[in-house]
Structure 1
Amino acid sequence: MKLSIYSIVLFFGFSSLCFSQEDVEKAAPPAGNALVGDFYGADISGAVVSKAVSVEKLEAELKSAQKAEGIAVKGEVTDVCKKRGCWITLKTEDGSSFFVKMKDYAFFVPTTLKGKNVVLQGNAERKVTSVDELKHYAKDAKKTKAEIDAINLPKEEVRFLADGIKVVN
């Protein structure tokens, strides 16, 4: 009996060490209002912001080249990962979305970034995204089970790996 009680006490003692408040905070998107001038990841200079191209121009460039490296793109955020803030989507002129992940998961963005204009700096490429990966992102976005189950084909899309994201006007 004593051994069981000691085992339980030790289990809860070690459990509290394993799940600190810092670990819990890492599982949620960062707090903040995403105000103009705020940046996430690498700080993007004013010179880079002024040279940023539109999402449409980037898509046009990627029709002739598979990859664009060290490019800055400006657009409006249409969605943010609600689970951790680890990806965003930008609106394109035709109403489709443009997917952005953070390089090496080194930074995350607040959900309040949705609806804001941003400049991204990083690398872009045309890629085919698997059904499993699309379903994973749909779960992160808290889509309904019906919406997730409706995903049954891979999708060719532009993917962006951001070194930094800056909120702009």
Structure 2
Amino acid sequence: MKQLLYTAVLSICISAFSFAQEAVEKSAPPAGNAVVGDYYGADVSSIAVEKAVSVENLENKFNDQKKVENIAVKGEVTDVCEKRGCWVTIKTENGSSFFVKMKDYAFFVPTALKGKNVVLEGTAEKKITSVDELKHYAKDAKKSQTEINAITLPKEEIRFVASGIKVVN
């Protein structure tokens, strides 16, 4: 009898966890106005804000390596995932841009972050993004089917995994 009760309780717990996980995956971006001082994920220290580099300087940090860890980068948010707030695109001072995901999908950002200046803390990596992945992100960004169909080649780019994002000036 105890074994039957144990099995029933375990089944209920697993079902509840699955339901909760599915609800999180289908949720909308968090609400919020993304005002100066707001942060998402880990708080970005004031030292990191002061020492944040532009993407131009980030390029120089790579040297012969493909990855730069524990770096702070500044820029303007030009796009936010409309579905969940699980990625952003950052434009830098020279007009180039790069793609940012949240570390371990541990946090999401509001769509109000679009147009704001931010400092990101995390890891930058040079990588080639597949056509399928590029199309997936274009679909998340609610691009037109024509724009999505125009994606036919993989793209070499800097990808950033943020442990924290802070709104600045």
**Band of TM-score, shorter chain:** 0.7 to 0.9
Q: Where do residues 128-139 of structure 1 align in structure 2 (5 Å cutoff)?
A: 128-139=128-139
Indicate conservation of the 8 Å contact 2:84/2:108, yes or no.
yes
- The question of 1:28 aligning with 2:55 is answered no
1:63 Cα offset (Å): 5.2
Structure 2 counterpart SS, 1:57? helix
Change (3 A) 1:63 1:132: farther
Aligned residues, how many? Answer: 151
Residues 61-84 of structure 1 deviation map (CA, whole Å, 9 limit, x = unaligned): 235431110000011111000110
Unaligned runs of 5+ in 1: 1-17
Q: Where do residues 28-107 of structure 1 align in structure 2 (5 Å cutoff)?
A: 28-62=28-62, 64-107=64-107
Residues 20-73 of structure 1 deviation map (CA, whole Å, 9 limit, x = unaligned): 8x9279610000000000000001111111111112111232354311100000
- TM-score norm. by structure 2 comes to 0.83
Residues 68-127 of structure 1 deviation map (CA, whole Å, 9 limit, x = unaligned): 100000111110001100000111344332100000000000000011000000000100
Give me the identity figure in percent: 75
Taking the aligned partners of 2:66 and 2:19, their CA distance within structure 1 comes to 43
Structure 2 counterpart SS, 1:53? coil
Taking the aligned partners of 2:132 and 2:96, their CA distance within structure 1 comes to 20
Taking the aligned partners of 2:36 and 2:92, their CA distance within structure 1 comes to 21
Indicate conservation of the 8 Å contact 2:122/2:161, yes or no.
yes
Residues 105-161 of structure 1 deviation map (CA, whole Å, 9 limit, x = unaligned): 000000000110000000001000000000000000000000000000000000000
Taking the aligned partners of 1:113 and 1:92, their CA distance within structure 2 comes to 15
Q: Where do residues 85-164 of structure 1 align in structure 2 (5 Å cutoff)?
A: 85-164=85-164
Change (3 A) 1:104 1:55: same
